[in-house]
Amino acid sequence: MKPDTLAPSDELLEKEDRLREDLREYGSIAIAYSGGVDSSYLAEIAHEVLGEAATLVLADSPSIPRAEVHEARELAEERGWNLHVVETHEFDDEGYLRNDGKRCYFCKTALFARMRQFAEENNVKVLAYGAIVDDLADPTRWGATAAREYAVVAPLQEAGLSKDEIRPLSARRGLPTASKPAFACLASRFPTGTRVTREDISKVEQAEEVLRAHGFRQYRARHHGNLCRIEVDPADIPKLLDSEIRHGVVEGVKAAGYRFVTMDLAGYRTGSSA
């Protein structure tokens, strides 16, 4: 996915100025950071405005691939951001494990609880996360519910910024995440109502690592018991059908623990496991 190569408009730069001013007023902030497009851009601006008073809180749990955690840490180090890594314990919460449609609420609650603890111990005034205006279209908004309960603000949303706007703004600042594909936690690969387990999360992670190793950028390994349903960008379907690549993917996904491997001809799309 390529960011817009055109220079950001005056209107877009005004939104960035508003974001910068909002962050300056906070004084100190702890940001839920994942290394994705939105939280990385927010981290960059917060660091620019607040310096060491802006702390990034990176959640480390089985629901986040090791590769994503590594990339997030590496980016923070390269940019000189103030990073704090915490272990979250959503796998200790039955509400999260049963995956009944409110999973995101329990996941965000686990993260925000750890962030609140960090803020209290370090005299941080404000908690924030990378919600954007696109997220307002989510009919459930369980993450937003958890954010309200923990008084977590959404500076990007308040500035009126969308994903399509954040990408060119990120590119302007040389952030490698400007063209990073969309990502969601590994538990999103499970159909609603299918119980989430550490063992199955590990299988999904290994299956997606196979796709990553074969050069795919936008992909999902959807978990359906002993069957793994693969989604890739529609433009990459011919690549996946190449006999050598197909064989390597099938063998790798089976080695992860699946008995059957299928390809979704509709290609990658969000929410297809729901």
Asked: is 197-263 a CATH 3.40.720 domain? The reply is no
- Angle of CA points 114, 120, 125, to nearest 5°: 105
Q: How confident is the model at residue 4 (pLDDT cuts 50, 70, 90)?
A: very low
pLDDT in tens, 164-174: 999 999 999 99
Considering the chain, what percentage of its residues have pLDDT values greater than 70? 96
pLDDT in tens, 7-48: 788 899 999 999 999 999 999 999 999 999 999 999 999 999
For 27-162, where are the alpha helices, taking DSSP H only? 37-50, 66-79, 94-98, 103-122, 142-149, 155-158
State the CB neighbour count (10 A cutoff) for residue 138: 13
CATH superfamily of the domain spanning 10-179: HUPs (3.40.50.620)
pLDDT score, position 271: 65
pLDDT in tens, 158-198: 999 999 999 999 999 999 999 999 889 999 999 999 999 99
Strand order of the β-sheet with 29-33 is 82-87, 54-60, 29-33, 126-128, 152-153
* Strand-pair partners of 120: none
Phi, psi torsion values for 56, nearest 5 degrees: -95, 130
Domain ranges of the chain: 10-179, 197-263
